[in-house]
Structure 1
Amino acid sequence: MTFMPHGKHFIAGQWTSSDGTFQSDPAQGAPHTFCAGTVAQVDLACQAAEEAFWSFGYASRETRAAFLNAIADEIEARADAITEIGMAETGLPKARLQGERGRTVGQLRLFATHILDGAYLDKRHDGALPDRQPLPRPDLKMVQRPIGPVAVFGASNFPLAFSTAGGDTASALAAGCPVVVRGHPAHPGTGEIVAEAISAALKSCALHPGVFSFIQGPGHEIGQALVQHPLITAVGFTGSLRGGRALFDLCAQRPVPIPFFGELGSINPVFLLPAALHNRSDEIARGWAASLTMGAGQFCTNPGLVLVLEGAEADTFVETARQALETTESQTMLADGIADAFQSGAHRIAAVPDIRKLVGAACENRAAAPYLFETSGDTWLANKELWHEVFGPLGIVVRVKNTAQLLEIARHLEGQLTCTLQMEADDTDLAKMLMPVLERKAGRVLANGFPTGVEVADAMVHGGPYPASTNFGATSVGTLAIRRFLRPVSYQNLSADLLPTDWAD
C-alpha cells in the first residue's frame, strides 16, 4: 500500500486546507506539499477541543479505552504505508520504524488497560465523624479528574512513538483530555497518515470530532499560538532545550499560566567503576560505542558522557571505544537542521581548551559519523560547554583523578534523564557513595546496561530535573504519564448522584 499525502490539517472532524504551504524534505524520494497552519485554525481546533471536553472528559473509562484500542487497530491497518513514508521522510531503517510502530500501539493498549483498572484515579475517602470533638469532620472524597484540552508537539526523533499518536497524545486521551497536535515538519506525511488513523477511530467510536485535531506547518507561529491559547490547559513537548525553554516561558507568562511538560536535553552520564573497568573494559567500550551510535545517536537517552578513573585500564577502554567508533559507518540524520546542529555541536566541543578529538570527520548533508573526545576531570569541571547535550553520535570520555573528583563531577551534573553505573560487586561501596547524588540528578538510575531503550511500563520514569525536563515530578513514558493531565478534586458532603462516575466505578 502506497500512501500519497493530501497535505491537509484535521480540525474538528474535517480535513481542512490553508493558503500557505510548505514542502517536506525527505531523506529519499520526492518531496510533498503540505498546508501551513494559521493562527485562526489553531483557534478553531482549540474551540472544538473545549467543546469536546464536556462529553469526552466525562465519558466512561470503557469508552476511552475502546478509543485507544481503536487508534491502535487503525495504525496497524496502515502499517506498511506508515513504514514506507516514514523511511522516505526520516531515513530510518525499516526495522526501526516497525519497532517504533509496535511501541506506539503497545502504549496505546497499555494505557487502555491501565485506566480500566482505575487505580490511577487515586481515590481517597475520609468518612464523616459527626460526633468528633471539638468539631465534627465532614465526609470527604477525592478523585483525579481530567484538566481540559492539551497541546502536543510532535518530536523530530520519534516520528511515531513521540509524535501524532505518541505517548503524550495517548496519555492525555487516556486521562479524558482532548488533544490538539502540532505535527513536526520533519515528517509531515508520517504525521498525516497517523492522524488519518485517529480520525477513523473517532468515527468508529462515535466521539465528538473535537477530541483530536492535527495542524502542520513550519516556523514558530502556530506553536506559539497553541501554547498561548486560553483554552489549552497543558502542553506536552519533546525537543531541543532552546525551543522547549521558549515555549515553557510563554506558558509561564500567560495571564493564566499552565504546566509545560517538556523533555529538553540530557547527556546521560555513564560511571565506569574500577572493578567493572578491570573485568569488562573491552565489553563495556564496545557496548557503549554501539549505544552511542544507535539510530545515529538521535535518542534523548544517548549516553554522551563516560567517567572513568585515569590509568592504564582507562587507556584500554578508550582505545577499544576508538576502534569501534572509527569503524562505524555514517548514518542519515532525521533532518538537515538536526545534522547542522550536530556539526555545530561537534565544533563547539572541539574548541574547548585541553580536549582531544580521537574520532571525527566532517559530515556531508544529513550523513553523520561519530565523534569521540577525551579530556580530564579538571577540564570538564572548568568548562560548562562540555555539560550540554550534542544531539547525535558524539561521546566524551572524562578521565577522573580519583573517587573524590568522581563525586565532585557527579555533584556538578545538571539534571539528567538517566545516570548509569557500570559496576561489579566490588564496586558496591563506591556505588553507594554515588547513589544519593545520582538519584537527585536523574529520573532513572540503571546498572550494567545502557540507557538507550526506554521500557513503556508502570515503573518507568522518563524525565528528571531541569534541563532534562521542565517538570521533575512527571514522566513522559509509562502509565504514570497519564497523571500529568489530571488534577485532584475533593468532594465534601456531596450525595452519590453528584459524584463523578469514576468515583462510583
Structure 2
Amino acid sequence: MVQGYNPRNGQPIGEPVESTSDSAVDELGLAAARALPAWSAWSSAERAEVLDAVADALDAEADLLVATADGETALGVPRLTTELKRTSNQLRLFGEVLREGSYVEATIDSPDPDIIPPRPNLRRILRPLGTVAVFSASNFPFAFSVAGGDTASALAAGCPVIVKAHSAQPGTSRETARVVDAALRASGAPDGVFGIVYGTQAGVRLVRHGEVRAVGFTGSTGGGRALFDLASGRPDPIPFYGELGSVNPAVVLPGAATERPEDIATGFAQSLTMGVGQFCTNPGLLFAPTELVRGLAAAVGATNGGAMLNERMRDTYVSDVDGLDAGELVSLVATGTAPEDGWSVPPKLYTVTLRDFADNLATLTEEHFGPAGIVVTYDDVDALLEVLPRLPGTLTGTVHASAGEHDLAGRVGDVLRTIAGRLVFNGWPTGVAVSWAMHHGGPWPATTNALHTSVGATSIRRWLAPVSYQSWPDELLPAELRDDNPLGIPRRRDGVLGTH
C-alpha cells in the first residue's frame, strides 16, 4: 500500500492506495499499445480540443485538488492554486502547438534527377514514438506530476501515457488521474490512452515494459540514474529524459554588488527559500564579492523555513547541513527559523573563499535539496572565470551586473552557457515560464539529455521520431506532407520555410 503523510505533523493523511501489481502494469501497457494507432491517427486539431477539455476539467475541480495536495505537501493553498493554473495553461499551450503545426517539422525535397546522387521525392515528418512512461515529481504535485508537462506534451505528440504516481502523494495523484481520465473519456479518446500506477516496483516494471517507448522523469540524481540505466540496459534500449540535480550558480559582479546590495540580498534569500528550497532551479551557489556576505547573511537569517515534502527529504537535508556544519570547508553565516512540528527545516547560508571552493569543488558542488546555499567569495574576476567552467552541468546560470559591466557580464555568460541550459540576467532562476522559447534542461547531472527540455513547447520533441517518405503517392501521405498543404502549417519546401 502507498500511504500519504501530512508534512506539517508527520501523520498519515487520506486512505492508502494499493500498489499496482506486475500483471496490472502489464495490462496497462498492452491497453496503451492498443490505443496508440487510434490516438496517433487523430488530427492535431482534434488532440488539441482534448487537451483543452482536460485543462477545463482540472480548473473545474481546483478546490478539491488543491486541498488534497496541500494536505500531502504542505506547500500552501496560494502556491498550489497558482501551480494548478500553470498546469492547465500548460495543456492549453500544447493545444496551440498542435494547431500551429510546425512541431512536426514537415520537410519536402522535390525530385531532381540531374544532381549527384539523383534525388527522389522525399518528404520528412516527425511521428509519435509510442507509449510514454511519466514519473511524477514530488516538488510540483501538479505541474510536473500526473497531468504535468511530460504528460501534456506526450499526449499532444500522439503518444499514450502511463504515469508512475509519486509515493508521497497518492491521494493527489489519484484525484488528478480521475479528472484526467474522465475528461479523456468524455472527449472520446481511445481506451488505454492514459493510465496510472502506484509503488516503486510498479515504476521499475513500467520502464521494463516492452510496449513503453520512452520515459520522462523528474527527481533525484540517484533515482533517475538507476532508471536511466534500466532504460538503457533493456534488450531494446529506449530514451530516458530525466531532470535530476542542479546547483544553479549565480554570479554577482562587483558593480552590481556596490549599486544594489540590499536588492540582491533580498532577492537571493527569497529565491533560495522559495517553497522551502525545493525548486529544481534553487540558486544553491552564489559567487559574490566578500563585502556582500553580511547583507546576504542578514537576509537569509530573517527568512522562515517550513515543512519539507516528505520525511526522506527532511532527513537528507538535515544530514547534508549537519555535514557542512561539522566540516571545515565552509563557515555557517546565517540560520533562519522554522516551526518545530512535522518535517520542518530552517534555511542556512554558508560561505567559502574561491580558492578553497576550487580546491574542494567536487564536494562543494553537491546539491543540497532544500533552503541551503553557499556563497563563494572572490576578489578577482579573472580567477572566477577560471573556476566557473569546472562546475557541473546545471539547469540555469545567473549574472547580476551593473550598466557599466555588460562586457564583463558577456564574458561570464559565455562561460555559463557551456554548463547551463538557461541564462538569467539581473534576476533569479526560480520560476520557469511555460512558453515557446523556454529551455528547461542542461548538461549532466541537470538532465540526461541536454538537447531537450521538460518545459515549454519544444518538450514535445522528446516523444517524436523522424520518418521520411520516398516517392509515395500524394494521397497516401500524412496530411502535413501533401502537396496542397491542407492544414496550412509551416513547412520547409526545397530548403525554404513557408506555408507552401
Q: Into which bin does the TM-score normalised by the smaller protein fall?
A: over 0.9
Contact 1:60 1:502 in 2 (8 A): no
1:250 corresponds to which of 212, 222, 230? 230
State the distance in 2 between where 1:119 and 1:417 align. 26
Query: How big is the shift at 1:133?
Result: 4.7
442-451 vs 425-434, greater mean Cα deviation: 425-434
Distance 1:111 1:198 in 2: 15
Matched, 1:498 2:476: yes
Asked whether the equivalents of residues 348 and 385 of structure 1 are also in contact (C-alpha less than 8 Å), the reply is no
SS of the aligned residue for 1:57 comes to helix
Given candidates 76, 97, 103, the residue that maps to 2:80 is 97
Which residue in the other structure is 1:321 paired with?
Answer: 296
Are the counterparts in 1 of residues 302 and 336 from structure 2 also a CA contact under 8 Å? no
Q: Which runs of 5+ in 1 are unaligned?
A: 1-20
What SS does the corresponding residue of 2:212 show, helix, strand or coil? coil
1:338-417 equivalent positions in 2, closer than 5 A: 338-360=313-335, 365-383=342-360, 384-417=362-395
Paired AA for residue 142 in structure 1: R
Q: 2:28 & 2:266 partners in 1: Cα distance?
A: 49
Aligned mates of 1:22, 1:232 — CA distance in 2: 24
Whether 1:153 and 2:169 are equivalent positions in the alignment is: no
The 1:361/1:281 distance shift into structure 2, 3 A limit, reads: closer
Structure 1 residues 26 and 251: alpha-carbon distance in aligned structure 2, compared to 1, 3 A threshold: same
Q: Secondary structure at the match of 1:233?
A: strand
Instruction: Report matched runs for 1:184-195 at 5 Å.
Output: 184-195=166-177
The answer (yes or no) to whether the contact 1:349–1:386 under 8 Å persists in 2 is: no
Contact 1:87 1:94 in 2 (8 A): yes
Distance 1:396 1:27 in 2: 26
Pairing 1:121–2:104 present: yes
Moved more, 344-353 or 59-68: 344-353
Amino acid across the alignment from 1:342:
Y
RMSD: 1.5
Matched, 1:229 2:197: no
SS in 2 for 1:210: coil
1:62 equivalenced with 2:45 (yes/no): yes
Question: Structure 1 CA distance, aligned partners of 2:46 and 2:434?
Answer: 23
Deviations 1:100-148 (A, max 9, x none): 0010000100101111110111111110113x15553200001111100
What is the aligned partner in structure 2 of residue 208 from structure 1? 190
Instruction: Give the equivalent residue in structure 1 for 2:268.
Output: 288
Q: Please give the alpha-carbon distance, in whole angstroms, between the structure 2 residues aligned to 1:45 and 1:137.
A: 44
Which residue of 151, 160, 184 corresponds with 1:169?
Answer: 151
Change in 2 beyond 3 A, CA 1:430/1:135 = closer
CA contact (8 A) 1:357 1:371 kept: yes
Cα distance in structure 1, aligned partners of 2:248 and 2:319: 20
Preserved contact between residue 60 and residue 501 of structure 1 (Cα < 8 Å): no
**1:356 Cα deviation (Å)?**
0.3
**Cα offset for 1:206?**
1.1
**Cα distance change, pair 152–135 in 1 and its aligned pair in 2 (3 A):** closer
Out of 115, 122, 127, the position equivalent to 1:140 is 122
After superposition, give the CA deviation of every residue in 1:352-396 in whole Å (9 maximum; x if it has no partner): 423101123897541011010000112211221111111110010
Residue 445 of structure 2: aligned partner: 467
The equivalent residue for 2:285 is: 305
Percent identical residues: 43
Aligned to 2:252: 272
Give me the whole-angstrom Cα distance separating, in 2, the residues matched to 1:73 and 1:349: 47
**Deviations for 1:455-486, whole angstroms, at most 9, x for unmatched residues?**
00000000000000000100000000001101
Q: Deviations over 1:396-444 (max 9, x none)?
A: 0001241122112211111010000001122122222222211111000
Q: Does 1:40 align with 2:15?
A: no
- Determine the structure 1 residue equivalent to 2:492: none
Alpha-carbon distance in 2 for matches of 1:259, 1:48: 21
| Partner residue of 1:484 out of 462, 470, 486 | 462
Residues 352 and 385 in structure 1, CA contact (< 8 A), matched pair in contact too:
no
Q: Distance in 1 between matches of 2:39 and 2:334?
A: 54
> Secondary structure of the equivalent of 2:88?
helix
- 1:503 positional shift: 2.7
Residue aligning to 2:493 = none
Contact 2:330 2:351 in 1 (8 A): yes
Q: Give the superposition deviation at 1:308.
A: 1.4
Q: Given that residues 305 and 336 in structure 2 are in contact (C-alpha distance below 8 angstroms), is that contact kept between their aligned partners in structure 1?
A: no
Counterpart CA distance in 2 for 1:421 and 1:262 is: 26
Q: Secondary structure at the match of 1:477?
A: coil
CA distance in 1 between counterparts of 2:409 and 2:269 reads 23
| Corresponding residue number in structure 1 for 2:497 | none
Question: Over residues 11-44 of structure 1, what are the superposed CA-to-partner deviations in whole Å (9 max), with x where a residue is unaligned?
Answer: xxxxxxxxxx232112357442111112211111
Answer yes or no: is the 8 Å Cα contact 1:24–1:31 preserved in 2: yes
Residues 232-272 of structure 1: CA deviation (Å, up to 9, x unaligned): 11100000011001111111111111111000011111100
Structure-2-length-normalised TM-score = 0.93
Alignment of 1:424-435 (within 5 A): 424-435=402-413
CA contact under 8 A between 2:18 and 2:198: conserved in structure 1? yes
Tell me the matched-pair count.
Answer: 477
How far off its partner does 1:348 sit? 2.9
Compared CA separation, residues 402 and 214, structure 1 to 2 (3 A): same
The amino acid of 1:378's aligned partner reads R
